[in-house]
Amino acid sequence: MDVELETERLVLRPWRESDLAPFAALCADAEVMRYFPAPLTREESKALIAQAMQKTEEDGFCFQPVEEKATGRFLGFVGLSRPAAPLPFAPCVEVGWRLAQTAWGQGFASEAARAWLRFGYETLDLEEIVSFTASQNLPSQAVMRRIGMSRDMAADFEHPLLVDGHPLRPHVLYRLSRPAWEGMHDSRM
C-alpha cells in the first residue's frame, strides 16, 4: 500500500531512488543526528530506506519522504512506524520525523506529523499514537507538544538499544489517544 498525503505546503510520498542522495546527506549531518548515536554512512542511509520500504510492505506504512510542494525540495522524512526495538510500552505505533537543517523552524515537522496522525486515526483506526526521543532533544519534544501529544513521565525509559551510561539512553515518551485527538480535531472545526 503506497501512502501519499498532502498538506497545504507538503507532499508526503513513497520513497524514490532519487531520495538517496539528499537523505544520505541529511543523515550524515552531525547536527541533524546529534540526538542519535552517530551520523550515518551512505550505505547505512540506503539500508534505512530499504527497511522503511520493507516495513511499508508489511505494515502498510512507515517513515516516508517529505517534499515541499512549491519547489519539490526533499526535506527529510516523517511518518508512522511500528518500532522494532523491544520498548517497554510496545506494541505501539509511533509518529516520528527527521528533517534537514534547511527545513527547521518552519513548522514542516508539525504539519507533516499532523497529516500522519490524521491518517493513523482515520484510516488505520488506531487507538493511540506515541512519540519518543532522547530526553535532551528539546526541539522534538516541542514538536510533540505542538501536535497535541502529552508527556507520560511515568513511562520515560532507558532505550534498550543503547548501552548503559550512554548519554542518549534516557528517553521521554509522549502519547496521544484517539479521544484526545478527536477532541482537538472537533474543536478546530
Domains and CATH numbers, the chain: 5-187 (3.40.630.30)
pLDDT exceeding 70 applies to what percent of the chain? 98
Model confidence at 155, in pLDDT bands (50, 70, 90)? Answer: very high
pLDDT, tens digit, 9 for 90 and up, residues 111-136: 999 999 999 999 999 999 999 999 99
- CA-to-CA distance for 78 and 188, rounded, in angstroms? 23
Residue 189 is predicted with a pLDDT of 40
Other CB atoms within 10 Å distance of the CB of residue 93: 20
> What b-and-e string marks burial along 160-183, b requiring 16 or more CB atoms within 10 Å of the CB?
eebeeeeebbebbbbbbeeeebee
Helix residue ranges per DSSP H, 60-177: 108-118, 138-146
Model confidence at 109, in pLDDT bands (50, 70, 90)? Answer: very high
Identify which of 113, 117, 99, 111 has the alpha carbon closest to the alpha carbon of residue 35: 99
Identify which of 19, 129, 46, 139 has the alpha carbon closest to the alpha carbon of residue 82: 129
Rounded to an integer, the average pLDDT of 73-80 is 97
CA pseudo-torsion sign 170, 47, 80, 142: positive
DSSP strands (E only) in 114-162: 128-134, 150-151, 157-158
Residue 2 is predicted with a pLDDT of 78
pLDDT, tens digit, 9 for 90 and up, residues 7-62: 999 999 999 999 999 999 999 999 999 999 999 999 999 999 999 999 999 999 99
